[in-house]
Amino acid sequence: MQELYDMAFTRHERAAAKRGEFAAAWGTYVDGHPWDIDVRNVNPCTLEVLAVMREPAPVEMALIFSEWLAALRAALDNGLYALAATLSGRNPPPQAERIQFPICTTPREFKQQSNRLSMLPTHVVEALEKSQPYQSPYGPESNLTYWIHELARTDRHRSLHVGLGRIDAHRIRIAVPPGVKIQFDETVTPYRQIEGELIVGRFTCSRPIAPREVQADLRGVAIAPEIQAWAGFTLNGSTQSLQDRMIYTEIFTRNHLENLAAMGNVTPIGGFTTIDPGSKNDVSQVRMAE
């Protein structure tokens, strides 16, 4: 059943290609300078600098992200199907229509889904349970496999995911009339997505000043891509760029696929990069590829 595994790993590789397409589409989008700078008075002496979205991210980005999600979700399902076929020696395996890689947020939900996997040996179901999002110490939403399922489910049944800009680097310069002293409000740390507009700076002047007297230079503000529904994600308590999240998600997905291949005594395309098949297989563990 090597060819079934090969197809699952090929789907996974397709996701990396889609990530590259997503980055290229983002580059084209930002080349059009889709954000403006606005300066407004809070009071006569205090002003705010805002990044204002002039043009939303193109639907093309949402479509590419959709294809990235679909490739990863399908790879997991294909990998489990390949294992079921290998263990049964039949293609299609018994009850093939019931086979889907389970991604659950509670033990109860996993128990319900595992009832659909009666064609698999107990040790395989137990291994799958170890990888479930509810096993994560920081909660299900800190698990990248959870997000494959959640984002793909929303994408399939509701709507494409909205692309946004996110402040990744924050350094602004302000020019004011001679003799005016300014003090920046250091509590403004806008490391988040721009939804319509976002305050990127606030400062107080030594005398009343109008916005037209201010020149704002935002070349030190870096805006990276973001997906609205995924913007609040943290990994081990830390925020990650969308690019890093996508890469880590691909690594974790490959880890699941490699464990499925190891349980079927099959060598995946590219060999084993996230597990040592000579040791006890444990899908809750990931050795990051260097």
pLDDT digits (tens, 9 = 90+) for 102-127: 999 999 999 999 999 999 999 999 99
Strand residues in 103-237 grouped as ranges (E):
163-169, 173-175, 182-184, 193-194, 197-205, 215-217, 222-227, 234-235
Identify whether 276 is part of a domain: no
User: Checking DSSP bridges between strand 215-217 and strand 46-53, what pairing results, if any?
Assistant: unpaired
Task: Tell me whether residue 222 is in a domain.
Answer: yes
What's the pLDDT score for residue 283? 43
Structural domain boundaries, residue 198: 2-263
Domain count across the chain = 1
Q: How would you class 119 by CB atoms within 10 Å of its CB: exposed for 0-12, middle for 13-18, buried for 19 or more?
A: middle
As a whole-number percent, the residues of the chain with pLDDT over 70 amount to: 96
Instruction: Record the pTM.
Output: 0.88
228: which residues sit within 8 A by CB, 6+ positions away? Answer: 161, 162, 163, 164, 193, 195
What pLDDT is recorded for position 37?
92
Q: Classify residue 282: in a domain, yes or no.
A: no
